[in-house]
């Protein structure tokens, strides 16, 4: 098995990048690293650039949803939702990828479903304005459908362990 060295880069839960403990402030470099990032079969974040590979230490997810914008449809319901991400890009929400993880953090998939993304507090509240409940389940009404928001399998197993 091939050994992949560390990049000495760390991404915190808010999507801030650090190199050897110092915060990285040059957005051009950060965007370049995001563009060359992959997830390996072990779930590690790798930067694959200039024929070199190294892994990045990530506290939670490399991508963070920082803002949620929506188009109003009928009866002020969202007809489309756009996410502003920590790599300075925008993309449409994949509504069936929403889930709640540990500590009630909201997640979704981004980049054509290849990467998980964590919602920061502001983005969570922006999306929560459109989330509804039908008794005991939460869902996002969008495109004439209900997209239910499950708890992640990791959270469910922890809850089950507490009960036994």
Regarding whether 149 and 85 lie in a shared domain, the answer is: yes
Here the CATH number for the domain that contains residue 23 is 3.10.540.10
pTM of the predicted model, to two decimals? Answer: 0.85
Predicted confidence (pLDDT) per residue in 11-52, tens digit: 999 999 999 999 999 999 999 999 999 999 888 999 998 889
- Residue 93, burial from CB neighbour count under 10 angstroms (0-12, 13-18, 19+): buried
Q: Which residue has tokens 């500590």?
A: 103
Strands lying side by side in the sheet with 63-72: 90-92, 78-85, 63-72, 115-119, 106-110, 99-100
Structural domain boundaries enclosing 35: 6-58
Regarding whether 33 and 14 lie in a shared domain, the answer is: yes
- Domain presence at residue 164: no
* Of the ranges 77-86, 89-98, 152-161, the best mean pLDDT one: 89-98
């Amino acid at each position: 098995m091939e050994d992949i060295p560390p990049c000495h880069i760390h991404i915190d839960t808010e999507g801030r990048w650090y190199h050897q403990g110092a915060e990285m402030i040059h957005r051009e470099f950060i965007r370049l690293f995001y563009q060359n990032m992959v997830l390996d079969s072990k779930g590690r974040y790798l930067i694959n650039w200039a024929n070199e590979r190294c892994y990045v230490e990530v506290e939670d997810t490399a991508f963070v949803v920082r803002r949620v914008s929506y188009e109003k449809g009928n009866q002020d319901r969202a007809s489309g939702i756009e996410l502003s991400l920590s790599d300075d890009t925008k993309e449409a929400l994949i509504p069936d990828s929403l889930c709640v993880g540990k500590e009630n953090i909201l997640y979704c998939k981004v980049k054509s479903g290849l990467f998980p993304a964590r919602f920061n507090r502001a983005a969570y509240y922006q999306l929560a304005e459109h989330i509804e409940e039908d008794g005991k389940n939460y869902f996002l009404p969008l495109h004439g459908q209900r997209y239910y928001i499950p708890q992640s399998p990791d959270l469910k197993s922890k809850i089950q362990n507490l009960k036994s």
